[in-house]
Structure 1
């Protein structure tokens, strides 16, 4: 196995890892109740432990059965905290958070694009590798846009809870926000590796053909 082939398959493995990370982000609350992009811890409460916000909704985690929204594109994240004393959201904040949660549909879209790039990378032809690098770059762009919306939309909730909310509430980023950051980095690295190796393979093939013609 040549160096170029090694880097090509290494890029392929990175795409598979990025796909797995993006799938994890896509199945956050309310699909998996305790898996979150943003988490609000509630201390001193006998009924509520925490509130988890995900791609398609949120869950209120209780000692008993959890209270979750139905999974759908776009939701009012501020509604989970509407009854908290002393915590209010302006109409602009509510509308911004709702609009940005609609963009979170990009999480599964990015996962699909990354998986298509992975499948294309399984072949070693120049055309397949070139198209794979295009899909990988597109997945990187979509992932970055989704990540930006994650931070922008949920920062509204996080800032409000930590600055205007009662002392028994504390908002912090959930583990999956770092999954999407890692997925973006893996997609970018894979794009570079696959593109460089497919170009190098094309150049080597061209030189081989030229050498045979000269011979």
Structure 2
């Protein structure tokens, strides 16, 4: 295996890694209760020990000995959840913004699908397959970055308000948000690597064709 092919397969590995990481993000709360993008550790006066916010919903942990989770759906109201649980108040603008942007989280599974498609295309040995893989990878990277930006805006609003309140609750970023960051980096790196190896392979074949034509002259 040549160096160029090895580098190309490394790009494929990055796409596969991004796909796996994004799958984990897709199954954050309420699918898997303890995996989240943002976690709230609740004060002593609140019911439950914490709240986990995920891509398609949330869970209030340890309510009367069990977790109380929402149904998985596109879009929910994280500000209202916190208000109901520990009494933290949000302005109408903050609540409406955070609620609206949770609908954009549907981009997480979209990015997952695009990363997987790019990985499959990357397995192809042809120049066209590699070029298409780099283009789909670039699109996956763009979608992931948009989703990440919305995540930080939505949960940044919640995190700041909870930490500034006097309820005794504290909010912090959880593993899910960092998985999205790493996924964005992986897809960006894969785009560069696969496109570079595609161009390098095409240039090499052109040189070989020119060399063969010279030999036969």
Normalised to the residue count of structure 1, the TM-score between the two structures is: 0.96
Distance 1:193 1:131 in 2: 13
Contact 1:86/1:164 (CA < 8 Å) preserved in 2? no
Distance 1:72 1:159 in 2: 25
Q: What is the RMSD of the two structures over their aligned residues, measured on CA atoms?
A: 1.3
Distance 2:167 2:129 in 1: 55
**Which runs of 5 or more residues in structure 1 are unaligned?**
none
Contact 1:86/1:165 (CA < 8 Å) preserved in 2? no
1:43 CA displacement: 4.0
Partner of 2:23: 23
Contact 1:18/1:183 (CA < 8 Å) preserved in 2? yes
1:40 is aligned to 2:20: no
Distance 1:27 1:128 in 2: 30
Partner of 1:206: 206
Partner of 1:103: 104
Distance 1:37 1:177 in 2: 5
Contact 1:129/1:198 (CA < 8 Å) preserved in 2? yes
1:165 CA displacement: 3.9
- Partner of 2:29, secondary structure, is coil
Partner of 1:49: 49
Distance 1:203 1:55 in 2: 43
1:195 is aligned to 2:206: no
Contact 2:98/2:157 (CA < 8 Å) preserved in 1? yes
1:44 CA displacement: 2.8
1:82 CA displacement: 1.7
1:164 CA displacement: 1.9
Partner of 1:4: 4
1:83 CA displacement: 3.0
Distance 2:59 2:75 in 1: 15
Normalised to the residue count of structure 2, the TM-score between the two structures is: 0.95
1:79 CA displacement: 1.8
